[in-house]
Amino acid sequence: MDIRKAREFVKDQWWDLKEFINRKVYKKEDKDSELYESRWVWYHSVLVIELFIIILLLWYIAAGD
């Protein structure tokens, strides 16, 4: 029983290694990850702009005495 589990574990790890190499070396990615990365970039870009506007408003309020 333990040998079967060990073989299955090695098989799974080998498959994960092959998938990792395909993603990193050959740059093969599925469309879901590309969409996620694109949305992540846009979302964080909006957050940076929003933070910059808040800083400017706070600076205006602090200097407005």
Which pLDDT does position 30 carry in this prediction?
65
Q: b or e along 41-61 (b: 16 or more beta carbons within 10 Å of the residue's beta carbon)?
A: eeeeeeeeeeeeeeeeeeeee
- Domains in the chain, number: 1
Q: Please indicate, yes or no, if residue 4 is contained in any of the structural domains.
A: no
Q: How many CA atoms lie within 13 A of 23 on its CB side?
A: 11
* Residue that has been written with the tokens 């290694």 in this structure: 17
Q: What does the pLDDT look like over 7-64, one tens digit per residue?
A: 777 777 777 777 777 776 776 666 677 777 888 888 999 999 999 999 999 999 999 7
Confidence class of residue 2 from pLDDT cuts 50, 70 and 90? confident
Q: Please indicate, yes or no, if residue 23 is contained in any of the structural domains.
A: no
Q: Please indicate, yes or no, if residue 42 is contained in any of the structural domains.
A: yes
Alpha-carbon distance 53 to 8, whole Å? Answer: 54
